[in-house]
Amino acid sequence: MDLKTRKRWALVILLLGLPLYLIAAWFVTNLIYDLWGRMPLILEFVVYVGLGIIWILPFRKVFSGIGKAE
């Protein structure tokens, strides 16, 4: 994939994919809260950091080198 195409896909992922992922993560965390109540603060932190890392893993190739000049 050339740089121009990767930049376009990165924009689509950030504008459409990230909000959809945020909604899904919110839904999952609400399910956890409904089942077990409020988690300890450190566990809650780990869950949110984990969800923040997981969303980017499939798109590493798309986002690599986006900030470089053509």
Q: Per-residue pLDDT tens, the chain, 70 aa: give them.
A: 888 888 899 999 999 988 998 898 889 888 888 888 888 888 888 888 888 888 888 888 888 888 877 6
For residues 18 and 26, give the distance between their C-alpha atoms in angstroms, rounded to a whole number. 12
CA distances from 51 to 25, 26, 36, 41, 45 (A): 7, 10, 18, 15, 10
What is the model's pTM? 0.68
Structure tokens at 43: 């566990």
